[in-house]
Structure 1
Amino acid sequence: MTTAKAATARFAHPSAALNSGRDAGEQRFVKSAMARPLLSREDEADLARRWRDDRDEAALHALTEAHMRLVIAVAAKFKRYGLPFSDLIQEGNIGLMKAADRFEPERDVRFSTYVTWWIRSCIQDYVLRNWSIVRTGTTSAQKSLFFNLRRMRARIGDLDGASISPDNREQIARDLRVRERDVETMAMRLGASDRSLNAPVGDGEDSQWQDFLVDDSVAPEIEVMDRTDSERRSLWLGQAIDDLSPREQFIIRERRLTEDGSTLETLGQTLGISKERVRQIESAALSKLRSNLCAAVGDPYEAGLIPNA
Protein backbone atom coordinates (compact mmCIF):
# COMPACT_ATOMS: atom_id res chain seq x y z
CA MET A 1 0.00 0.00 0.00
CA THR A 2 2.78 2.38 0.92
CA THR A 3 4.61 1.58 -2.31
CA ALA A 4 1.48 2.22 -4.35
CA LYS A 5 0.94 5.59 -2.69
CA ALA A 6 4.54 6.60 -3.29
CA ALA A 7 4.28 5.68 -6.94
CA THR A 8 0.99 7.60 -7.25
CA ALA A 9 2.52 10.69 -5.65
CA ARG A 10 5.58 10.50 -7.87
CA PHE A 11 3.70 10.31 -11.15
CA ALA A 12 0.53 12.18 -10.24
CA HIS A 13 1.79 15.23 -12.12
CA PRO A 14 2.91 14.83 -15.79
CA SER A 15 5.94 17.06 -15.32
CA ALA A 16 7.14 14.89 -12.44
CA ALA A 17 7.04 11.80 -14.62
CA LEU A 18 8.82 13.67 -17.42
CA ASN A 19 11.58 14.97 -15.16
CA SER A 20 11.99 11.58 -13.55
CA GLY A 21 12.35 9.89 -16.91
CA ARG A 22 14.76 12.54 -18.09
CA ASP A 23 16.96 12.22 -15.00
CA ALA A 24 16.99 8.44 -15.32
CA GLY A 25 17.95 8.72 -18.97
CA GLU A 26 20.81 11.08 -18.13
CA GLN A 27 22.08 8.72 -15.46
CA ARG A 28 22.03 5.77 -17.84
CA PHE A 29 23.85 7.76 -20.50
CA VAL A 30 26.51 8.98 -18.09
CA LYS A 31 27.01 5.50 -16.66
CA SER A 32 27.31 4.01 -20.13
CA ALA A 33 29.77 6.69 -21.28
CA MET A 34 31.99 6.31 -18.24
CA ALA A 35 32.13 2.56 -18.79
CA ARG A 36 33.63 2.92 -22.27
CA PRO A 37 37.29 1.89 -22.43
CA LEU A 38 39.93 4.49 -23.15
CA LEU A 39 41.85 4.41 -26.43
CA SER A 40 45.57 4.34 -26.87
CA ARG A 41 47.35 6.89 -29.04
CA GLU A 42 47.72 4.33 -31.82
CA ASP A 43 44.05 3.36 -31.72
CA GLU A 44 42.98 7.02 -31.88
CA ALA A 45 45.16 7.67 -34.91
CA ASP A 46 43.98 4.50 -36.67
CA LEU A 47 40.28 5.27 -36.14
CA ALA A 48 40.76 8.89 -37.21
CA ARG A 49 42.48 7.82 -40.45
CA ARG A 50 39.76 5.28 -41.24
CA TRP A 51 37.09 7.92 -40.85
CA ARG A 52 38.97 10.62 -42.74
CA ASP A 53 40.17 8.47 -45.63
CA ASP A 54 37.46 5.81 -45.95
CA ARG A 55 34.47 7.48 -44.20
CA ASP A 56 34.22 4.38 -42.03
CA GLU A 57 31.24 5.12 -39.75
CA ALA A 58 32.12 2.28 -37.42
CA ALA A 59 35.49 3.92 -36.81
CA LEU A 60 33.77 7.28 -36.20
CA HIS A 61 31.42 5.72 -33.65
CA ALA A 62 34.26 4.01 -31.85
CA LEU A 63 36.31 7.20 -31.77
CA THR A 64 33.51 9.44 -30.47
CA GLU A 65 31.98 6.97 -28.02
CA ALA A 66 35.34 6.52 -26.33
CA HIS A 67 35.45 10.27 -25.64
CA MET A 68 31.88 10.74 -24.38
CA ARG A 69 33.27 10.82 -20.85
CA LEU A 70 35.27 13.88 -21.84
CA VAL A 71 32.08 15.59 -23.06
CA ILE A 72 30.41 14.86 -19.72
CA ALA A 73 33.40 16.15 -17.77
CA VAL A 74 33.50 19.44 -19.68
CA ALA A 75 29.70 19.88 -19.60
CA ALA A 76 29.69 19.40 -15.81
CA LYS A 77 31.82 22.53 -15.43
CA PHE A 78 29.03 24.63 -16.96
CA LYS A 79 26.12 23.30 -14.86
CA ARG A 80 26.19 26.38 -12.62
CA TYR A 81 24.72 28.52 -15.42
CA GLY A 82 21.34 26.89 -14.87
CA LEU A 83 20.93 25.23 -18.28
CA PRO A 84 19.79 21.60 -18.68
CA PHE A 85 22.70 19.23 -18.30
CA SER A 86 21.41 17.07 -21.18
CA ASP A 87 21.50 20.10 -23.49
CA LEU A 88 25.07 20.86 -22.46
CA ILE A 89 26.02 17.29 -23.30
CA GLN A 90 24.30 17.53 -26.68
CA GLU A 91 26.26 20.67 -27.54
CA GLY A 92 29.44 18.99 -26.39
CA ASN A 93 28.67 16.07 -28.69
CA ILE A 94 28.43 18.51 -31.59
CA GLY A 95 31.92 19.73 -30.75
CA LEU A 96 33.07 16.12 -30.53
CA MET A 97 31.75 15.39 -34.04
CA LYS A 98 33.36 18.54 -35.45
CA ALA A 99 36.68 17.59 -33.92
CA ALA A 100 36.48 14.06 -35.36
CA ASP A 101 35.88 15.52 -38.80
CA ARG A 102 38.83 17.93 -38.62
CA PHE A 103 41.40 15.91 -36.70
CA GLU A 104 44.70 15.26 -38.46
CA PRO A 105 46.54 12.31 -36.88
CA GLU A 106 49.76 13.18 -38.72
CA ARG A 107 50.29 16.17 -36.42
CA ASP A 108 51.19 13.79 -33.58
CA VAL A 109 48.62 15.29 -31.18
CA ARG A 110 46.36 13.16 -29.00
CA PHE A 111 42.73 13.30 -30.11
CA SER A 112 41.65 13.84 -26.50
CA THR A 113 43.77 17.00 -26.36
CA TYR A 114 42.45 18.27 -29.66
CA VAL A 115 38.79 17.51 -28.98
CA THR A 116 38.68 19.29 -25.62
CA TRP A 117 38.88 22.70 -27.27
CA TRP A 118 36.00 21.91 -29.65
CA ILE A 119 33.80 20.55 -26.89
CA ARG A 120 34.38 23.56 -24.67
CA SER A 121 33.87 26.00 -27.57
CA CYS A 122 30.49 24.55 -28.54
CA ILE A 123 29.25 24.45 -24.95
CA GLN A 124 30.40 28.00 -24.28
CA ASP A 125 28.63 29.25 -27.39
CA TYR A 126 25.45 27.46 -26.31
CA VAL A 127 25.63 28.99 -22.82
CA LEU A 128 26.11 32.48 -24.22
CA ARG A 129 23.15 32.06 -26.58
CA ASN A 130 20.76 30.60 -24.01
CA TRP A 131 21.79 31.86 -20.57
CA SER A 132 19.65 34.96 -21.07
CA ILE A 133 17.17 36.30 -23.62
CA VAL A 134 19.61 39.20 -24.01
CA ARG A 135 22.74 38.16 -25.86
CA THR A 136 25.72 38.29 -23.51
CA GLY A 137 29.30 38.42 -24.70
CA THR A 138 29.70 39.16 -28.39
CA THR A 139 33.46 39.78 -28.42
CA SER A 140 36.28 37.52 -27.27
CA ALA A 141 37.03 39.86 -24.35
CA GLN A 142 33.39 39.82 -23.22
CA LYS A 143 33.25 36.03 -23.49
CA SER A 144 36.36 35.70 -21.36
CA LEU A 145 34.86 38.09 -18.82
CA PHE A 146 31.56 36.18 -18.74
CA PHE A 147 33.16 32.82 -18.00
CA ASN A 148 35.91 34.06 -15.66
CA LEU A 149 34.30 36.83 -13.61
CA ARG A 150 32.81 34.53 -10.94
CA ARG A 151 36.10 32.69 -10.56
CA MET A 152 38.04 35.95 -10.26
CA ARG A 153 35.61 37.34 -7.67
CA ALA A 154 35.79 34.15 -5.66
CA ARG A 155 39.57 34.28 -5.69
CA ILE A 156 39.70 37.80 -4.27
CA GLY A 157 36.77 37.22 -1.91
CA ASP A 158 34.32 39.67 -3.49
CA LEU A 159 31.04 37.80 -3.94
CA ASP A 160 28.63 40.11 -2.13
CA GLY A 161 25.94 40.98 -4.67
CA ALA A 162 26.25 42.46 -8.15
CA SER A 163 28.31 45.50 -7.11
CA ILE A 164 32.11 45.25 -7.07
CA SER A 165 34.37 47.49 -5.04
CA PRO A 166 36.48 49.93 -7.12
CA ASP A 167 39.77 48.29 -6.14
CA ASN A 168 38.56 44.79 -7.01
CA ARG A 169 37.02 46.03 -10.24
CA GLU A 170 40.33 47.56 -11.24
CA GLN A 171 42.22 44.35 -10.40
CA ILE A 172 39.83 42.13 -12.38
CA ALA A 173 39.93 44.48 -15.37
CA ARG A 174 43.73 44.44 -15.30
CA ASP A 175 43.98 40.66 -14.98
CA LEU A 176 41.44 39.96 -17.76
CA ARG A 177 42.58 42.90 -19.91
CA VAL A 178 39.17 44.49 -20.20
CA ARG A 179 37.71 47.86 -19.27
CA GLU A 180 36.51 48.50 -15.72
CA ARG A 181 33.16 49.59 -17.15
CA ASP A 182 32.78 46.18 -18.80
CA VAL A 183 33.51 44.43 -15.50
CA GLU A 184 30.82 46.42 -13.70
CA THR A 185 28.27 45.83 -16.49
CA MET A 186 28.93 42.09 -16.60
CA ALA A 187 28.70 41.81 -12.82
CA MET A 188 25.28 43.45 -12.90
CA ARG A 189 24.15 41.13 -15.72
CA LEU A 190 25.32 38.02 -13.86
CA GLY A 191 23.73 39.23 -10.64
CA ALA A 192 20.26 39.60 -12.17
CA SER A 193 17.94 37.12 -13.84
CA ASP A 194 15.50 37.53 -16.71
CA ARG A 195 12.01 38.50 -15.68
CA SER A 196 8.94 38.15 -17.85
CA LEU A 197 6.88 41.30 -18.33
CA ASN A 198 3.81 39.09 -17.99
CA ALA A 199 4.82 37.85 -14.54
CA PRO A 200 2.54 38.96 -11.69
CA VAL A 201 3.86 41.73 -9.47
CA GLY A 202 3.06 39.82 -6.27
CA ASP A 203 1.35 36.73 -4.98
CA GLY A 204 -2.39 36.79 -5.51
CA GLU A 205 -2.30 39.95 -7.65
CA ASP A 206 -3.64 40.38 -11.16
CA SER A 207 -1.24 43.21 -12.06
CA GLN A 208 1.70 42.38 -14.30
CA TRP A 209 5.07 44.12 -14.56
CA GLN A 210 4.19 45.41 -18.03
CA ASP A 211 1.25 47.33 -16.51
CA PHE A 212 3.73 49.70 -14.85
CA LEU A 213 5.80 50.49 -17.96
CA VAL A 214 5.32 54.09 -19.06
CA ASP A 215 5.66 55.10 -22.69
CA ASP A 216 6.62 58.77 -22.83
CA SER A 217 6.65 58.92 -26.61
CA VAL A 218 3.89 60.59 -28.60
CA ALA A 219 0.98 58.37 -29.59
CA PRO A 220 1.29 57.22 -33.25
CA GLU A 221 -2.02 58.77 -34.31
CA ILE A 222 -1.05 62.14 -32.79
CA GLU A 223 2.35 62.01 -34.44
CA VAL A 224 0.78 61.33 -37.85
CA MET A 225 -1.76 64.13 -37.38
CA ASP A 226 0.93 66.63 -36.35
CA ARG A 227 3.13 65.70 -39.29
CA THR A 228 0.24 65.96 -41.73
CA ASP A 229 -0.83 69.37 -40.34
CA SER A 230 2.74 70.63 -40.44
CA GLU A 231 3.15 69.59 -44.08
CA ARG A 232 -0.16 71.22 -44.99
CA ARG A 233 0.75 74.49 -43.23
CA SER A 234 4.15 74.54 -44.93
CA LEU A 235 2.47 74.10 -48.31
CA TRP A 236 -0.02 76.92 -47.69
CA LEU A 237 2.67 79.27 -46.39
CA GLY A 238 4.98 78.46 -49.30
CA GLN A 239 2.24 79.23 -51.82
CA ALA A 240 1.45 82.54 -50.08
CA ILE A 241 5.13 83.58 -49.98
CA ASP A 242 5.51 82.87 -53.71
CA ASP A 243 3.13 85.77 -54.40
CA LEU A 244 5.51 88.26 -52.75
CA SER A 245 8.30 90.13 -54.49
CA PRO A 246 11.85 88.79 -54.14
CA ARG A 247 12.77 91.53 -51.64
CA GLU A 248 9.64 90.92 -49.59
CA GLN A 249 10.33 87.18 -49.58
CA PHE A 250 13.89 87.78 -48.39
CA ILE A 251 12.81 90.05 -45.53
CA ILE A 252 10.02 87.72 -44.39
CA ARG A 253 12.28 84.67 -44.41
CA GLU A 254 15.11 86.44 -42.57
CA ARG A 255 12.83 88.11 -40.02
CA ARG A 256 10.17 85.46 -39.40
CA LEU A 257 11.25 82.07 -40.69
CA THR A 258 14.73 81.70 -39.19
CA GLU A 259 15.56 80.51 -35.70
CA ASP A 260 17.18 83.74 -34.45
CA GLY A 261 15.62 86.27 -36.82
CA SER A 262 17.65 89.07 -38.34
CA THR A 263 17.32 92.61 -37.01
CA LEU A 264 15.91 95.51 -39.04
CA GLU A 265 19.31 97.19 -38.93
CA THR A 266 21.14 94.13 -40.25
CA LEU A 267 18.69 93.69 -43.14
CA GLY A 268 18.88 97.43 -43.90
CA GLN A 269 22.67 97.19 -44.23
CA THR A 270 22.35 94.09 -46.43
CA LEU A 271 19.76 95.66 -48.74
CA GLY A 272 21.25 99.20 -48.67
CA ILE A 273 18.15 100.82 -47.19
CA SER A 274 17.18 102.21 -43.80
CA LYS A 275 15.83 100.00 -41.05
CA GLU A 276 12.58 101.97 -41.13
CA ARG A 277 12.18 101.11 -44.78
CA VAL A 278 12.77 97.47 -43.93
CA ARG A 279 10.00 97.68 -41.32
CA GLN A 280 7.62 99.19 -43.85
CA ILE A 281 8.33 96.48 -46.43
CA GLU A 282 7.90 93.78 -43.78
CA SER A 283 4.57 95.23 -42.67
CA ALA A 284 3.28 95.38 -46.24
CA ALA A 285 4.47 91.82 -46.93
CA LEU A 286 2.73 90.50 -43.79
CA SER A 287 -0.49 92.18 -44.91
CA LYS A 288 -0.23 90.45 -48.29
CA LEU A 289 0.48 87.11 -46.62
CA ARG A 290 -2.47 87.49 -44.29
CA SER A 291 -4.77 88.38 -47.15
CA ASN A 292 -3.65 85.38 -49.22
CA LEU A 293 -3.86 82.96 -46.30
CA CYS A 294 -7.25 84.22 -45.14
CA ALA A 295 -8.63 83.49 -48.57
CA ALA A 296 -7.27 79.92 -48.37
CA VAL A 297 -7.48 78.79 -44.74
CA GLY A 298 -8.99 81.53 -42.56
CA ASP A 299 -7.10 83.45 -39.87
CA PRO A 300 -3.36 82.65 -40.43
CA TYR A 301 -2.39 83.73 -36.90
CA GLU A 302 -4.81 81.29 -35.30
CA ALA A 303 -3.58 78.56 -37.66
CA GLY A 304 -0.01 79.24 -36.58
CA LEU A 305 1.09 80.10 -40.11
CA ILE A 306 2.42 83.57 -39.19
CA PRO A 307 4.19 84.05 -35.84
CA ASN A 308 2.94 86.98 -33.79
CA ALA A 309 5.20 89.99 -33.78
Structure 2
Amino acid sequence: MINKVQILSVTLPGNLDAYIRIANLWPMLSIEEEKSLTQRLRYNSDLDAAKKLILSHLRFVIHISRNYSGYGLPQADLIQEGNIGLMKAVRRFNPEIGVRLVSFAVHWIKSEIHEYVLRNWRIVKVATTKSQRKLFFNLRKTKKRLGWFNEEEIKIVAKELGVSSKDVREMESRMAAQDVTFNPLPEEDFVDGKNNNTIQYLQDKTSNFACRVEKDNWEEHATNKLSNALLGLDKRSRDIIYARWLDKNQKNTLQTIANNYGISAERVRQLEKNAMKKLRIAIEA
Protein backbone atom coordinates (compact mmCIF):
# COMPACT_ATOMS: atom_id res chain seq x y z
CA MET A 1 0.00 0.00 0.00
CA ILE A 2 2.79 2.40 0.92
CA ASN A 3 4.47 2.13 -2.46
CA LYS A 4 1.20 2.78 -4.27
CA VAL A 5 0.48 5.88 -2.19
CA GLN A 6 4.03 7.15 -2.73
CA ILE A 7 3.61 7.25 -6.50
CA LEU A 8 0.42 9.31 -6.27
CA SER A 9 1.49 12.72 -7.64
CA VAL A 10 -0.06 16.17 -7.56
CA THR A 11 1.48 18.12 -10.43
CA LEU A 12 1.26 21.82 -11.12
CA PRO A 13 0.11 22.96 -14.58
CA GLY A 14 2.10 25.62 -16.42
CA ASN A 15 -0.16 28.41 -15.11
CA LEU A 16 0.16 28.80 -11.33
CA ASP A 17 -2.96 30.95 -11.06
CA ALA A 18 -4.98 28.25 -12.81
CA TYR A 19 -3.63 25.64 -10.42
CA ILE A 20 -4.60 27.74 -7.39
CA ARG A 21 -8.12 28.23 -8.77
CA ILE A 22 -8.51 24.49 -9.37
CA ALA A 23 -7.18 23.66 -5.89
CA ASN A 24 -9.66 26.02 -4.26
CA LEU A 25 -12.55 24.39 -6.16
CA TRP A 26 -12.13 21.15 -4.22
CA PRO A 27 -14.55 21.23 -1.27
CA MET A 28 -13.27 21.04 2.27
CA LEU A 29 -14.10 17.84 4.13
CA SER A 30 -16.30 17.58 7.18
CA ILE A 31 -15.00 15.74 10.24
CA GLU A 32 -17.10 12.68 9.36
CA GLU A 33 -15.99 12.64 5.71
CA GLU A 34 -12.34 13.01 6.65
CA LYS A 35 -12.50 10.22 9.23
CA SER A 36 -14.23 7.89 6.79
CA LEU A 37 -11.64 8.54 4.07
CA THR A 38 -8.64 8.17 6.40
CA GLN A 39 -10.03 4.88 7.73
CA ARG A 40 -10.54 3.56 4.21
CA LEU A 41 -6.96 4.46 3.35
CA ARG A 42 -5.40 3.09 6.54
CA TYR A 43 -7.34 -0.17 6.78
CA ASN A 44 -8.23 -0.91 3.15
CA SER A 45 -5.37 0.79 1.23
CA ASP A 46 -7.97 2.75 -0.75
CA LEU A 47 -6.10 5.00 -3.19
CA ASP A 48 -9.27 6.85 -4.18
CA ALA A 49 -9.63 7.90 -0.55
CA ALA A 50 -5.99 9.06 -0.50
CA LYS A 51 -6.57 11.11 -3.64
CA LYS A 52 -9.61 12.85 -2.17
CA LEU A 53 -7.74 13.61 1.06
CA ILE A 54 -4.84 15.15 -0.82
CA LEU A 55 -6.89 17.18 -3.27
CA SER A 56 -9.11 18.59 -0.54
CA HIS A 57 -6.04 19.84 1.37
CA LEU A 58 -4.13 21.46 -1.52
CA ARG A 59 -5.44 24.90 -0.48
CA PHE A 60 -3.64 24.55 2.87
CA VAL A 61 -0.33 23.82 1.11
CA ILE A 62 -0.78 26.96 -1.03
CA HIS A 63 -1.52 29.02 2.10
CA ILE A 64 1.57 27.72 3.95
CA SER A 65 3.86 28.14 0.93
CA ARG A 66 3.03 31.87 0.76
CA ASN A 67 4.82 32.36 4.07
CA TYR A 68 8.08 31.43 2.30
CA SER A 69 7.76 33.77 -0.68
CA GLY A 70 10.46 36.09 0.75
CA TYR A 71 13.26 33.66 -0.03
CA GLY A 72 13.26 34.46 -3.75
CA LEU A 73 12.33 30.92 -4.79
CA PRO A 74 9.61 30.04 -7.34
CA GLN A 75 6.19 29.81 -5.70
CA ALA A 76 5.31 26.79 -7.83
CA ASP A 77 8.34 24.91 -6.50
CA LEU A 78 7.46 25.76 -2.90
CA ILE A 79 3.93 24.45 -3.46
CA GLN A 80 5.21 21.29 -5.11
CA GLU A 81 7.54 20.57 -2.18
CA GLY A 82 4.66 21.23 0.22
CA ASN A 83 2.53 18.76 -1.76
CA ILE A 84 5.17 16.10 -1.16
CA GLY A 85 4.93 16.79 2.57
CA LEU A 86 1.14 16.57 2.38
CA MET A 87 1.31 13.15 0.69
CA LYS A 88 3.71 11.90 3.35
CA ALA A 89 1.35 13.12 6.04
CA VAL A 90 -1.66 11.43 4.42
CA ARG A 91 0.27 8.17 4.25
CA ARG A 92 1.26 8.31 7.93
CA PHE A 93 -1.93 9.74 9.44
CA ASN A 94 -3.74 7.66 12.07
CA PRO A 95 -7.48 8.47 12.13
CA GLU A 96 -7.78 7.17 15.69
CA ILE A 97 -5.59 9.86 17.29
CA GLY A 98 -8.48 12.33 17.48
CA VAL A 99 -7.08 15.33 15.53
CA ARG A 100 -7.80 16.73 12.10
CA LEU A 101 -5.52 15.76 9.23
CA VAL A 102 -4.52 19.39 8.57
CA SER A 103 -3.12 19.73 12.12
CA PHE A 104 -0.97 16.65 11.55
CA ALA A 105 0.03 17.62 7.99
CA VAL A 106 1.30 21.12 8.83
CA HIS A 107 4.53 19.68 10.25
CA TRP A 108 5.21 17.55 7.16
CA ILE A 109 4.37 20.36 4.72
CA LYS A 110 6.67 22.85 6.46
CA SER A 111 9.42 20.26 6.82
CA GLU A 112 9.58 19.60 3.07
CA ILE A 113 9.48 23.32 2.25
CA HIS A 114 12.23 24.00 4.81
CA GLU A 115 14.46 21.38 3.22
CA TYR A 116 13.86 22.86 -0.23
CA VAL A 117 14.64 26.41 0.96
CA LEU A 118 17.88 25.31 2.65
CA ARG A 119 18.99 23.37 -0.45
CA ASN A 120 18.32 26.18 -2.89
CA TRP A 121 18.56 29.54 -1.09
CA ARG A 122 22.35 29.55 -1.44
CA ILE A 123 24.81 27.44 -3.44
CA VAL A 124 26.66 26.85 -0.16
CA LYS A 125 24.43 25.55 2.63
CA VAL A 126 23.76 28.15 5.31
CA ALA A 127 22.40 25.66 7.85
CA THR A 128 23.27 22.02 8.34
CA THR A 129 22.46 21.13 11.98
CA LYS A 130 19.03 21.12 13.58
CA SER A 131 19.81 24.17 15.73
CA GLN A 132 21.14 26.10 12.71
CA ARG A 133 17.99 25.38 10.73
CA LYS A 134 15.81 26.58 13.59
CA LEU A 135 17.95 29.71 13.88
CA PHE A 136 17.88 30.35 10.12
CA PHE A 137 14.09 30.54 9.81
CA ASN A 138 13.47 32.36 13.10
CA LEU A 139 16.24 34.86 12.48
CA ARG A 140 14.73 35.97 9.16
CA LYS A 141 11.47 36.84 10.91
CA THR A 142 13.30 38.80 13.61
CA LYS A 143 15.55 40.65 11.13
CA LYS A 144 12.52 41.88 9.17
CA ARG A 145 11.49 43.69 12.34
CA LEU A 146 14.86 44.88 13.63
CA GLY A 147 17.28 44.93 10.66
CA TRP A 148 20.96 44.50 11.59
CA PHE A 149 21.39 43.54 15.26
CA ASN A 150 23.36 45.42 17.86
CA GLU A 151 25.01 43.53 20.73
CA GLU A 152 22.02 43.84 23.04
CA GLU A 153 19.59 42.59 20.39
CA ILE A 154 21.88 39.63 19.66
CA LYS A 155 21.71 38.62 23.33
CA ILE A 156 17.91 38.94 23.34
CA VAL A 157 17.51 36.86 20.16
CA ALA A 158 19.93 34.23 21.46
CA LYS A 159 17.96 33.95 24.70
CA GLU A 160 14.60 33.72 22.88
CA LEU A 161 15.83 30.98 20.51
CA GLY A 162 17.92 29.08 23.06
CA VAL A 163 21.24 29.47 21.22
CA SER A 164 24.52 31.26 21.88
CA SER A 165 25.28 34.84 20.82
CA LYS A 166 28.09 33.47 18.67
CA ASP A 167 25.60 31.30 16.73
CA VAL A 168 23.36 34.32 16.12
CA ARG A 169 26.25 36.46 14.80
CA GLU A 170 27.51 33.64 12.58
CA MET A 171 24.07 32.94 11.07
CA GLU A 172 23.43 36.66 10.53
CA SER A 173 26.72 36.86 8.62
CA ARG A 174 25.87 33.79 6.52
CA MET A 175 22.46 35.15 5.62
CA ALA A 176 23.92 38.50 4.57
CA ALA A 177 26.52 36.91 2.30
CA GLN A 178 25.95 36.65 -1.45
CA ASP A 179 26.99 33.87 -3.82
CA VAL A 180 29.94 34.86 -6.03
CA THR A 181 30.93 32.98 -9.15
CA PHE A 182 34.49 31.65 -9.09
CA ASN A 183 34.72 31.43 -12.85
CA PRO A 184 32.67 34.14 -14.63
CA LEU A 185 32.02 34.35 -18.34
CA PRO A 186 34.83 35.91 -20.44
CA GLU A 187 33.03 39.23 -20.82
CA GLU A 188 32.59 39.39 -17.02
CA ASP A 189 36.27 38.77 -16.22
CA PHE A 190 36.99 42.47 -15.82
CA VAL A 191 34.74 44.89 -13.93
CA ASP A 192 35.88 48.54 -13.73
CA GLY A 193 39.32 47.47 -14.93
CA LYS A 194 39.75 44.87 -12.16
CA ASN A 195 40.05 41.13 -12.69
CA ASN A 196 36.83 39.51 -11.50
CA ASN A 197 37.97 35.89 -12.01
CA THR A 198 38.12 34.76 -8.38
CA ILE A 199 39.15 31.20 -9.21
CA GLN A 200 42.65 32.44 -10.14
CA TYR A 201 43.28 33.43 -6.52
CA LEU A 202 42.16 30.21 -4.82
CA GLN A 203 44.84 28.32 -2.93
CA ASP A 204 45.29 24.65 -3.81
CA LYS A 205 46.05 23.15 -0.40
CA THR A 206 46.34 19.66 -1.86
CA SER A 207 49.45 20.66 -3.81
CA ASN A 208 52.94 20.92 -2.30
CA PHE A 209 55.16 22.41 -4.96
CA ALA A 210 58.36 22.16 -2.88
CA CYS A 211 57.84 18.46 -2.19
CA ARG A 212 57.10 17.80 -5.87
CA VAL A 213 60.29 19.56 -6.98
CA GLU A 214 62.28 17.74 -4.32
CA LYS A 215 60.83 14.40 -5.44
CA ASP A 216 61.61 15.14 -9.10
CA ASN A 217 65.17 16.15 -8.21
CA TRP A 218 65.66 13.01 -6.13
CA GLU A 219 64.33 10.75 -8.89
CA GLU A 220 66.64 12.45 -11.40
CA HIS A 221 69.57 12.10 -9.02
CA ALA A 222 68.81 8.40 -8.38
CA THR A 223 68.48 7.73 -12.12
CA ASN A 224 71.82 9.39 -12.83
CA LYS A 225 73.52 7.41 -10.07
CA LEU A 226 72.11 4.15 -11.42
CA SER A 227 73.15 4.99 -14.99
CA ASN A 228 76.71 5.78 -13.89
CA ALA A 229 76.87 2.61 -11.78
CA LEU A 230 75.73 0.48 -14.73
CA LEU A 231 78.54 1.93 -16.85
CA GLY A 232 81.00 0.46 -14.35
CA LEU A 233 79.85 -3.10 -15.10
CA ASP A 234 81.03 -5.30 -17.93
CA LYS A 235 78.66 -5.74 -20.88
CA ARG A 236 77.42 -9.21 -19.86
CA SER A 237 76.65 -8.10 -16.31
CA ARG A 238 74.80 -5.02 -17.64
CA ASP A 239 72.75 -7.19 -19.97
CA ILE A 240 71.83 -9.54 -17.11
CA ILE A 241 70.73 -6.67 -14.81
CA TYR A 242 68.72 -5.08 -17.61
CA ALA A 243 67.04 -8.36 -18.60
CA ARG A 244 66.25 -9.24 -14.99
CA TRP A 245 65.19 -5.85 -13.54
CA LEU A 246 65.03 -3.00 -16.06
CA ASP A 247 63.15 -4.49 -19.01
CA LYS A 248 59.62 -3.03 -18.73
CA ASN A 249 58.16 -5.49 -21.25
CA GLN A 250 59.12 -8.67 -19.43
CA LYS A 251 61.26 -10.03 -16.62
CA ASN A 252 63.52 -12.73 -18.07
CA THR A 253 64.18 -15.90 -16.14
CA LEU A 254 67.67 -17.13 -15.22
CA GLN A 255 67.28 -20.05 -17.61
CA THR A 256 66.35 -17.78 -20.54
CA ILE A 257 69.47 -15.66 -20.01
CA ALA A 258 71.59 -18.80 -19.50
CA ASN A 259 70.42 -20.17 -22.86
CA ASN A 260 71.37 -16.89 -24.57
CA TYR A 261 74.92 -16.97 -23.21
CA GLY A 262 75.42 -20.76 -23.28
CA ILE A 263 76.07 -20.97 -19.52
CA SER A 264 74.20 -22.52 -16.59
CA ALA A 265 71.38 -20.80 -14.76
CA GLU A 266 73.45 -20.99 -11.57
CA ARG A 267 76.29 -19.06 -13.23
CA VAL A 268 73.79 -16.37 -14.30
CA ARG A 269 72.58 -16.12 -10.69
CA GLN A 270 76.16 -15.63 -9.47
CA LEU A 271 76.86 -12.95 -12.07
CA GLU A 272 73.61 -11.18 -11.13
CA LYS A 273 74.49 -11.28 -7.43
CA ASN A 274 77.97 -9.85 -8.02
CA ALA A 275 76.59 -7.14 -10.34
CA MET A 276 73.97 -6.09 -7.78
CA LYS A 277 76.65 -5.84 -5.11
CA LYS A 278 78.79 -3.59 -7.33
CA LEU A 279 75.77 -1.40 -8.14
CA ARG A 280 74.88 -0.97 -4.45
CA ILE A 281 78.46 0.09 -3.62
CA ALA A 282 78.58 2.54 -6.54
CA ILE A 283 75.19 4.12 -5.72
CA GLU A 284 75.89 4.51 -1.98
CA ALA A 285 79.36 5.97 -2.58
RMSD between superposed Cα atoms in Å: 3.1
Change (3 A) 1:23 1:58: closer
2:211 to 220, 223, 245: 223
1:28 to 18, 22, 25: 18
| Unaligned ranges ≥5, structure 1 | 1-21, 234-294, 299-309
Aligned to 1:195: 180
1:111 to 93, 101, 104: 101
* AA aligned opposite 1:41: I
TM-score (normalised: structure 2): 0.66
2:91 to 97, 101, 106: 101
Alpha-carbon distance in 1 for matches of 2:199, 2:93: 55
* AA aligned opposite 1:188: S
Change (3 A) 1:228 1:122: same
Per-residue CA shift, 1:263-283, capped at 9, x if unaligned?
Answer: xxxxxxxxxxxxxxxxxxxxx
> How far off its partner does 1:100 sit?
0.6
SS at match of 2:89: helix
> Does residue 154 in structure 1 map to residue 118 in structure 2?
no
Aligned to 1:138: 128
> How far off its partner does 1:193 sit?
1.9
SS at match of 1:37: coil
Report the identity percentage. Answer: 35
> How far off its partner does 1:154 sit?
3.4
Aligned to 1:209: 197
More contact order relative to length (CA 8 Å, sep ≥ 6): 2
1:167 to 152, 168, 172: 152
> Does residue 40 in structure 1 map to residue 25 in structure 2?
no
Aligned to 2:170: 185
Per-residue CA shift, 1:44-87, capped at 9, x if unaligned?
Answer: 11111111222222111110000000111111111111111111
* AA aligned opposite 2:157: I
How many residue pairs align between the two structures?
214
Aligned to 2:256: none
Alpha-carbon distance in 2 for matches of 1:201, 1:184: 33
1:123 to 89, 97, 113: 113
Change (3 A) 1:175 1:86: same
Per-residue CA shift, 1:209-237, capped at 9, x if unaligned?
Answer: 3255153759555432324667999xxxx
Per-residue CA shift, 1:247-291, capped at 9, x if unaligned?
Answer: xxxxxxxxxxxxxxxxxxxxxxxxxxxxxxxxxxxxxxxxxxxxx
SS at match of 1:78: helix
* AA aligned opposite 1:179: S
Alpha-carbon distance in 2 for matches of 1:141, 1:120: 16
| Unaligned ranges ≥5, structure 2 | 1-11, 222-281
Change (3 A) 1:206 1:31: farther
Change (3 A) 1:217 1:24: closer
Alpha-carbon distance in 2 for matches of 1:139, 1:214: 27
Change (3 A) 1:184 1:59: same
Alpha-carbon distance in 2 for matches of 1:23, 1:203: 41
